[in-house]
Amino acid sequence: MELTKLKLSDRQLYALIEAVKLGEEIKPSQSAKRKAFSRHRIEGWENSKLTGIFYSLQRRLGLIDEIIKELVGVSPLILDPWLRATLRVAIEVAVFRDPSEKTRRRLKGLAGFLSKRTHPYVGYYYHDLLPRILEYMPVIDTEEKRLKWDYLFPEWFVVKMRELVGNEAEDLLKALNETLPTSIRVNLLKSSVEEVEGYLRKKNVRFERSGRVGTLIRLLDPFNLEWLFNKGFAIAQEEAAAVASLVLNPKPGETVVDLAAAPGGKTAHMAELMNNGGKIYAFDVDMARIKRMNEILKRTGVRIAETIRADGRRAPEILGEGIADKVLLDAPCTSDGTIAKNPELRWRLREKNIPKVVSLQKELLESAWKLLKPGGRLLYSTCSMFSEENEGVVGWFLKGHGDARLVPLSGPYDEGFLPGTMRAWPHRHKTIGFFYALVERKGH
């Protein structure tokens, strides 16, 4: 069967260019798309078709910008914004799709569009560059480049994933491109799993219960969960994130510190495991995130958590040393394990930023340790897959603390690269990437 050539009108191309340009100024990008499409009266089937192209371009953005840099010799970020947006659309259409002859002619006509929007010289520049775009063929001469083009990841990221999981790298990259179903954790302070499942059945929503976290449900159909969230009966949470609180296992009556707590999902889960008995100090630096956390804690009926707006590194001076039975440090990280939930993150990641993140993680870990009583336990976790942020940080910490003992974790996921630690992998476990290390302070 012959595939239909992509046909686009001038108006549709203008709408796409404007949406891409606005996407740099307005977040989220869907708001930019809606505004541009409305201005160009893109409706009905047109809307569906152009929305697909727009989001495809967003997923490929880093790769498209690499092509621009290859063709023009400079970073696209220093080009005129209208030229940058037009080149991005032209490459999406000409390189990644199969444009009809009429669409190819319309791409040439964008030189006049650019001349009117900016300056005739910009139009001339685009006109001279377009033949090279229309003829562009990538050189895919290594396995890393093939994976980059097939799965749309920066090449350095592909290299790191191959270093981590070897022959499984392609399965991992594929899993990061798949949409995860929405996951909710039932809040036992206000409801039960049976009640929430009964509600979903009444609404004819298909779901499955997690085999690893008994209170976690995955929705297999689109559904507005606002009622369940507003009532505090459930909270949005990925399985791997819910496992963190179960691993730390705080008990009723204990004192717990959550060092990077917002938006509050793990804080609320720990309060539930403690049956609202004891005390949780929940730290975060961001006021907007703390506001959201307070709303979540109120809705879920948490009475034992005190939110504190401060850097977690200051927690020992604020609370005092040796006051906590348990400490959760779900550390700030590159968040690369969440790419399936945040696809645009792939092009924002920078390898050069990893050492800065690691430095912060180490400082927070030192503060967390000061908070612990002898015999207390600290969970260090991240939603990163990079070993520098995980086994690297924990190995460094254990070398510097003779009174620290790694408590071996044997499930529900796989052992990490440091024996006793644990990792959730997107391709093996169908959840976000996550790391866990449980450390006990010796002595009593």
CA 375 to chain centre: 34
- Cα angle: 241, vertex 242, 243; to 5 degrees: 90
Residue 231 is encoded by which pair of tokens? 């009532």
- The Cα-based distances of 253 to 176, 281, 324 in angstroms read 40, 13, 11
Q: Of 383, 393, 409, 418, which one is the catalytic site residue?
A: 383
Say how many C-beta atoms besides its own lie within 10 A of residue 222's C-beta: 8
Residue 277 and residue 304 in contact, taking contact as beta carbons nearer than 8 Å: yes
Residue 294 and residue 288 in contact, taking contact as beta carbons nearer than 8 Å: no
> What is the spatial distance between Cα 37 and Cα 12, in angstroms, rounded to a whole number?
9
> What is the spatial distance between Cα 143 and Cα 423, in angstroms, rounded to a whole number?
26
> What is the spatial distance between Cα 274 and Cα 227, in angstroms, rounded to a whole number?
25
Annotated active-site residue 383? The verdict is: yes
> What is the spatial distance between Cα 268 and Cα 305, in angstroms, rounded to a whole number?
8
> What is the spatial distance between Cα 444 and Cα 432, in angstroms, rounded to a whole number?
36
CA atoms within 13 A on the CB side of 410: 0
Say how many C-beta atoms besides its own lie within 10 A of residue 432's C-beta: 25
Residue 106 and residue 10 in contact, taking contact as beta carbons nearer than 8 Å: yes
For the chain, give the number of residues.
444
Local structure of 403: helix, strand or coil = coil
Using the 8-state DSSP alphabet, how is residue 220 labeled?
Answer: S
> What residues contact 185, with CB distance under 8 A and at least 6 apart?
213, 215, 216, 217, 234, 235, 236, 237, 242, 265, 269
The DSSP line for 340-361 is TT-TTHHHH--GGGHHHHHHHH
> Among all residues, which ones are annotated catalytic?
383
